[in-house]
Chain A
Amino acid sequence: MNTALTTAAAGMEAQQAWLDALSNDIANVSTTGYKSLRVGFRDLLYQSPGRGGAEGTLTGSGAAAEVFGQNFEQGALEATGRPLDVALTSAGFIEVAAPGGGVALTRDGNLQIGPDGQLRTATGQALQPPVRIPKGVDPEEISIAPDGTVAAGKRTLGKIPLVEVTNPSGLQANGENGYLPTAASGPVKAAPNARLQQGVLEASNVDMANVMTAMTEAQQGYELAGKAVTTQDEVLAVANGLIR
């Protein structure tokens, strides 16, 4: 079998993985608190090419690329004036109850008051531990302190749980603008240094100019690897052409 063909095809696959991640970033350019994906590239095994190469010669087997975490750079703050909008201005997350049990972490601070009076995220997940807003409290009088303390006038109603993990790169995205802790991320613990700002939301940290540049590079890489695949096909045609 011609290994050059699989080597070239591996290159196409790697660029495709990058394109997929970039498309995901573009789709989330307006998602509150979204963190862009990091794509790691690596070359593959180097081995002896067999006939045609002397002993000690090595040829590589192409490339691979995969998403290995997020870029947790702070997103821009956008003022909304809505009292229940909060943005983290530091590292850390808001802890919410995950739909399937357990906890999830999010940086989307677009909070709502649920039918049961609990503060919930835009996707309906309650804060964990919950914060209940009593009936009759006007959302306009709610104030949220930088440490997460929720108060109505002079009355303290609860505290938005601010947490962190040792290794955010190990978190697993849960598809609901949040992350699930894993063994790689380490356990969820309180984040005493995390800070919130009321009346603002954290925009997605996807930078369109960067993404577009990356997209062009990925596309060019894909074309080059594609050209290599076509050429390897022609190489095989030439070899087959020996017998007429």
Chain B
Amino acid sequence: MDSGLYIAASGMLAEMVRQEQISDQLANVNTPGFKSDRATQAGFGELLLQNTQTGAAVGRLSLGVEIAETSTDLAPAGIHETGEALDFAVEGEGFFAVRTEAGVRYTRNGQFSTDAEGNLTDQLGDPVLGANGAPVRLRADGTVAPGDIGVFAVAGAEKQGENLYTGNATGAATGKVRAGFLEESAVNPSQAMVQLISSFRALEADQKSIQTIGETLQQSAGQVGSIAG
């Protein structure tokens, strides 16, 4: 069969993954502390074509493409004032740490709350940790001193959802905690829209390739193969 068919089909599948990834970016334009992701496309192997009669090398042919890697851009985004005492932002590098049932996780979304025991928690009720790894306690007036909240440098941070990242803390980070502020989502809406559109057009082009190759095959079968009479 024509390998072009499979190459174009792999292109469509890769664009569909990209569409999914960009849709996720657009869904999170208002999620505080959200970091944007990037999908990198790559060919998955090449074939060296040879002339069937002389054996001379003709050139390389890709076997198709796929999304080879997804990565997160962890650069700090802008912060803005909210006036809510329990909103926090890390200004600069570093993560807040929370203790979940599955272990310590890291986050940049500082929309915190409190629990009945007077601990600072994240939205889902998991305690936020101080620099010493113990839960942060509310002071008598119901507020939290920004300095009580730990900011950790995290190696190998990877998203797992619910604003949380897995990874290993490698000590204190340089970022400073600001109370009454939130970090904006790092998604650039216009950039994401442009990516969405160009990825969609690439998908359409792949579809046209498949259709064209399909027509070629039809002609081979219908015209070349027909017995003149």
Interface of A toward B, CB cutoff 8 Å: 2-5, 7-8, 10-12, 14-15, 18, 38, 40-46, 49, 51-54, 56-63, 65, 68-69, 71-73, 91, 166-170, 183-186, 207, 210, 217-218, 220-221, 224-225, 227-228, 231-232, 234-235, 238-239, 241-242, 244
User: Is B153's beta carbon under 8 Å from chain A?
Assistant: no
**In the bound complex, how far is the Cα of B109 from the Cα of A151, in angstroms?**
49
Q: Is the CB of B19 within 8 A of A232?
A: yes
Given A54-B68, A184-B116, verify A231-B162 contact (CB < 8 Å): no
Q: Which residues of B contact A (CB under 8 A)?
A: 10, 12-17, 19-24, 26-32, 34, 37, 39, 42, 44, 66-70, 83-86, 109, 111, 113-118, 123-125, 138, 141-142, 158-163, 189, 192-193, 196-197, 200, 203-204, 207, 210-211
Q: How many residue pairs, one in A and one in B, have C-beta atoms under 8 Å apart?
A: 216
Per a CB cutoff under 8 Å, which of B66, B123, B207 touches A68?
Answer: B123
Distance to closest chain A CB from B165 (angstroms): 10
Known: A40-B123, A52-B17. Contact between A166 and B200, CB under 8 A? no
The reply to whether B27 and A68 contact each other, CB–CB distance below 8 Å, is no
- B159 & A170 in contact (Cβ 8 Å cutoff): no
A238 near B207: Cβ-Cβ < 8 Å: yes
A60 and B29 contact, CB distance less than 8 A:
no
Instruction: Report yes or no: B69 in contact with A220, Cβ–Cβ below 8 A.
Output: no
Residues of chain B contacted by A169 (CB below 8 angstroms): 86, 113-114
Q: Is the interface of A mostly helix, strand, loop or mixed?
A: mixed
Please measure, in the bound complex, the distance between the C-alpha atom of A49 and the C-alpha atom of B24, giving whole angstroms. Answer: 12
Q: How far does the Cβ of B33 sit from chain A's closest Cβ, in whole Å? A: 9
In the docked arrangement, what's the CA distance between A183 and B28, Å? 32
CB distance from A34 to the nearest CB of B (A): 15
Contact indicator A184/B109 (Cβ below 8 Å): no
Q: How far is the CB of A164 from chain B (nearest CB, A)?
A: 8
- The residues of B that contact A231 with a CB separation of less than 8 Å are 19, 23, 196-197, 200
Contact present for B70 and A8 (CB under 8 Å): no
Separation of A194 and B200 alpha carbons in the complex (Å):
60
Write out the residue numbers on chain B whose beta carbons fall within 8 Å of the beta carbon of A43: 24, 27-28, 31, 34, 159, 161-163
Across the two chains, which residue of chain B brings its CB closest to A18? B30
